[in-house]
Amino acid sequence: MPKKPKLDSYHYHEMLDRLNIVTQIADQHLQQHPVAKIESDIGSLITEAIDKLTVAYQLTGEKSFKNKKN
């Protein structure tokens, strides 16, 4: 099994930035799209995806904070 790469604070910063960008794009271009607003089954799936990305953002931020302490 390959060794895990050592993560530094930049890796976490980069992940936070990318999660933020993807979440904004998903909101602006998918969730705000008329199809997602009218077709609730589609819109709810997009909302669920954005919610999961938000959780990933929060978790990354927590791990970044812990990494800075060590």
Domains of the chain, residue spans? 9-69
At which residue do the structure tokens 């709810």 appear? 44
Q: How confident is the model over 17-51, as pLDDT tens digits?
A: 999 999 999 999 999 999 999 999 999 999 999 99
- 12 touches 67 (CB < 8 A): yes
- 12 touches 58 (CB < 8 A): no
Q: Could you tell me the pTM of the whole model?
A: 0.85
CA distance 60 to 11: 10
Kind plus residue range of the DSSP H or E element containing 21 = helix 9-25
Closest CA to 68 of 5, 6, 8: 8
pLDDT bin (cut points 50, 70, 90) of residue 69 is low
Q: How confident is the model over 52-63, as pLDDT tens digits?
A: 999 999 999 999
